Structure 1
């Protein structure tokens, strides 16, 4: 509820404030004055005010003492200290007490107006500006629907949409959020068609102007840092979306200079494929050909059991020498505690310290099976906020601060994102079809609605290992998840509203990769 457009001015020299009071009243504010702190408390108990202007040096109670009494009456009351005192300690005391603002006399009426307007109308003014800015950009982005965007343009559009998603979510603008979701839905279909046209050519035609892919992380991003500094920390946060990155970035920027680039995950956007590609610099078909013992056709956690070895080989091929690799994977709190004990020794040595954090992936999967997790991460804004809350107390943040203290640069990225799925898409399949909800391998696979899936008949064209004859791949588009006609109601009840990955939405494919350079250390 907005605060009233009224001011209580507490000052023992109130007779000298006549011109200020008249000016504020001309601007539509009701102003009441008192020369004594105790009288001010009585007035505050009788009626609400929008803001209190408070002198520090008055007979009887100091302004700061009165401030505590005011907050006990109305904890949210904005209080502005207006005082002659230029003592640094007074300013520090006011800041420490969380005074809303601090002005040193003499002040002119417009200074007072500026501060009061910011405190009483700032949120409304900011929301009006946000609405105008979004309306302008919405029309411009809407005009790009259906156009043939190049990959850099896709990066610009998708990153901007993610930033708008965060800003509108924080501003609690449901109408604008609905408009944004409509735009995102249409962009997802355009993006799926874009990948259908271009993805295979990126892999096989030697196209010079293709986007960075998962396989390029080592060569394009990690090796230059290693060559320059001799050591680097590579952090892979499993299943981190662009909007989640936007939530934790401000915290990181307090300690690091951040240079953010973006890359495209390989397909399917699932950990066995995408994360192995990051650590090896190879597409899945190449991994299977080179390391057949490390690859099989079951997409389970064991496919990621050799990431340390893959990274060791990848760095040796890139640099022509044996690069020390210190690899840690964090699933549990105990894993995090153990990592933080070993991390100083890792960072003291040359080479690459590679860390994988699985919490966000566990959260997105776990909320489907756990009603408590579902409640605390009910929708996309809740998932973003939970990501930030976790990060603030996480071993990841502790690890980043340790790297900052030691002056070790960090490359932070993810293997894939996720999408909030609401739309079931019926598929027809044989028994040997894989169980994933956003991608499926199987013989004679087909989707009831052709628009619901990107179909890959030639697995090799997507850099994927061959399977039994007739096997094809379906990749879900938009916010769809695959269901069987015989289990339609069961799957809808269980998975509608789940955060899933493996498909071809921008949220899953387009990912941040950030170079964090310590400011100290």
Structure 2
């Protein structure tokens, strides 16, 4: 159909002739009916783009006709037009998923606005979004050449995510490719910024809140005045938080959203242990050698987070009751949800939820997950779907009913790796694809942030001559042996440990119950 075709159903259709002529003058085709049954007969034989439906007609009522239309075609937009302002009619119509609700007498411009809202909506939004991004593109390009503080990088990164989500909605591939190139350039500049400034962040007064200072600086002040649920979702990037923020918003309103910086490596054993201990990895190794494990040590690397947390709470002089839970399976999540009321007297309930981490590892290892999370948009969608149906959402609902404050954060993000970078090390070199630690590492200088003296970035050394390298941009490390197989297996998987906006700049959100 070239013209947009409207089916207008009204038992007094003759009185609407001026409206119909107005629409025909705007190049719309209008088909008229005088009863619900006549409309249903028409719809069985012709295709239309939208229906204007009078609510008060003899025979089949407008609401009954609406239900029949939805059975014929659930996606066909129906605009209900009525003389009545009775609330139950509005509620019935809205419950039946009408596209719009107009009250007589309607003027032609109201009709035109409803048509544009329902039929030209996508096109108008697409044009506006594209136009706005084109203007913003130039501003972002200027910012990229000037940004020189951790606060400005956080704001720029969030701006890039905002436009990624906007452009994704309108599916403009051309604009999206331009944005992707801006993100790549941003990560290149961010890598240089971190290379230059990162070591000083451990001693400078003007440093970002990082993994090892997060609890003291931002969490401890929040738990002094209200019982609090702290949720650390492993591997949660900013865009994934935005994917389910609205779901949380049904139960909690956001009071504060900040960005903090993960320490390097942006890996669980380093970053999450640092959150709960309030210490750098170097200090953890010194103070708690029985709880800290280096990359090459046998055994689990995050087995003592509860003990680290207890020590930090004591060190900070917090007189609170608290409990810690780690959820790594559906069964554990359900058990905590079923028994969550037992947490009501705690000043702090801390939960580590591991699903997103498991999802990123599954994408590497399972073909079906590679299909389901083939790109960032799909990865966000999968995260949202999980959250919507997870025990974690049930726990959040219960926390709201118990009037608990809610803090949602993470230990680090992930990045979709695209390009290999060759590295050579000995048999004791760590296995992570985004960072390596070991002796005699050979690598491409431009591809990495190198810490030849681990102590300068507050990291322990496996032996006297160990160093660390962190992959920049969307690179991943690959050994020359069996290179092609290795590269094809890991390309387009989600990894963490390196230097990127996605891995290092992460959300910290404080919410109050509705």
TM-score norm. by structure 2 comes to 0.97
> 1:488: Cα distance to partner?
1.0
CA–CA distance in structure 2, aligned partners of residues 277 and 76 of structure 1: 50
CA–CA distance in structure 2, aligned partners of residues 330 and 286 of structure 1: 27
> 1:4: Cα distance to partner?
4.9
Instruction: Identify the residue that residue 237 of structure 1 maps to in structure 2.
Output: 233
Q: Which moved more, 1:6-15 or 1:270-279?
A: 6-15
> 1:142: Cα distance to partner?
1.5
Instruction: Identify the residue that residue 461 of structure 1 maps to in structure 2.
Output: 456
Q: 2:307 aligns with which of 290, 309, 331?
A: 309
Instruction: Identify the residue that residue 466 of structure 2 maps to in structure 1.
Output: 471
> 1:161: Cα distance to partner?
0.9
- 1:413 pairs with 2:409: yes
Q: 2:381 aligns with which of 374, 380, 385?
A: 385
Instruction: Identify the residue that residue 142 of structure 2 maps to in structure 1.
Output: 143
What secondary structure is seen at the aligned counterpart in 2 of 1:235? strand
CA–CA distance in structure 2, aligned partners of residues 88 and 157 of structure 1: 46
Listed as ranges, the matches of 1:308-457 within 5 Å are: 308-318=306-316, 320-346=317-343, 348-447=344-443, 449-457=444-452
CA–CA distance in structure 1, aligned partners of residues 285 and 464 of structure 2: 17
> 1:30: Cα distance to partner?
1.7
What secondary structure is seen at the aligned counterpart in 1 of 2:235? coil
CA contact (8 A) 2:3 2:29 kept: no
What secondary structure is seen at the aligned counterpart in 2 of 1:85? coil
> 1:322: Cα distance to partner?
4.3
- 1:278 pairs with 2:275: yes
CA–CA distance in structure 1, aligned partners of residues 62 and 80 of structure 2: 8
Superimposed CA distance per residue, residues 159-194 of structure 1 (whole angstroms, 9 cap, x where no aligned partner): 111122222223222222111111111111111111
CA contact (8 A) 1:166 1:246 kept: no
What secondary structure is seen at the aligned counterpart in 1 of 2:511? strand
> 1:397: Cα distance to partner?
0.9
> 1:113: Cα distance to partner?
1.1
Q: 1:217 aligns with which of 214, 229, 232?
A: 214
Listed as ranges, the matches of 1:158-237 within 5 Å are: 158-204=157-203, 207-229=204-226, 231-237=227-233
CA contact (8 A) 2:415 2:502 kept: yes
Q: Which moved more, 1:418-427 or 1:479-488?
A: 479-488
Superimposed CA distance per residue, residues 360-408 of structure 1 (whole angstroms, 9 cap, x where no aligned partner): 1001011111111111111111110000000001111111111111110
CA–CA distance in structure 1, aligned partners of residues 73 and 502 of structure 2: 43
> 1:32: Cα distance to partner?
2.0
Q: 2:503 aligns with which of 487, 491, 508?
A: 508
- 1:481 pairs with 2:476: yes
CA contact (8 A) 2:257 2:509 kept: yes
- 1:74 pairs with 2:81: no
CA–CA distance in structure 2, aligned partners of residues 124 and 3 of structure 1: 16
What secondary structure is seen at the aligned counterpart in 2 of 1:144? helix
CA contact (8 A) 2:461 2:467 kept: no
In structure 2, relative to structure 1, the CA distance for the partners of 1:296 and 1:37 (3 Å cut) is closer
CA contact (8 A) 2:13 2:33 kept: yes
CA–CA distance in structure 1, aligned partners of residues 228 and 285 of structure 2: 28
CA contact (8 A) 1:4 1:49 kept: no
CA contact (8 A) 2:154 2:259 kept: yes
CA contact (8 A) 1:165 1:243 kept: no
In structure 2, relative to structure 1, the CA distance for the partners of 1:99 and 1:314 (3 Å cut) is same
Superimposed CA distance per residue, residues 297-323 of structure 1 (whole angstroms, 9 cap, x where no aligned partner): 2367622111111111112222x2443
> 1:41: Cα distance to partner?
2.3
CA–CA distance in structure 2, aligned partners of residues 3 and 194 of structure 1: 54
What secondary structure is seen at the aligned counterpart in 2 of 1:260? strand
Instruction: Identify the residue that residue 254 of structure 1 maps to in structure 2.
Output: 250
Q: Which moved more, 1:508-517 or 1:51-60?
A: 51-60
Instruction: Identify the residue that residue 151 of structure 2 maps to in structure 1.
Output: 152
CA–CA distance in structure 2, aligned partners of residues 261 and 414 of structure 1: 12
Instruction: Identify the residue that residue 296 of structure 1 maps to in structure 2.
Output: 293
CA–CA distance in structure 2, aligned partners of residues 212 and 425 of structure 1: 31
Listed as ranges, the matches of 1:40-79 within 5 Å are: 40-79=39-78
CA contact (8 A) 2:3 2:28 kept: no
In structure 2, relative to structure 1, the CA distance for the partners of 1:490 and 1:100 (3 Å cut) is same
| Number of residue pairs aligned between Structure 1 and Structure 2 | 512
> 1:222: Cα distance to partner?
1.1
Gaps of 5+ in 1: none
> 1:13: Cα distance to partner?
0.7
Superimposed CA distance per residue, residues 56-94 of structure 1 (whole angstroms, 9 cap, x where no aligned partner): 111111111112222333332111111112222211111
Superimposed CA distance per residue, residues 226-285 of structure 1 (whole angstroms, 9 cap, x where no aligned partner): 1121x2111100000111011011111122111211100000000000001111111001
Q: Which moved more, 1:143-152 or 1:417-426?
A: 143-152
Instruction: Identify the residue that residue 32 of structure 1 maps to in structure 2.
Output: 31
CA–CA distance in structure 2, aligned partners of residues 99 and 510 of structure 1: 41
Instruction: Identify the residue that residue 261 of structure 2 maps to in structure 1.
Output: 264
CA–CA distance in structure 2, aligned partners of residues 202 and 125 of structure 1: 46
What secondary structure is seen at the aligned counterpart in 2 of 1:485? coil
Q: 1:491 aligns with which of 486, 493, 500?
A: 486
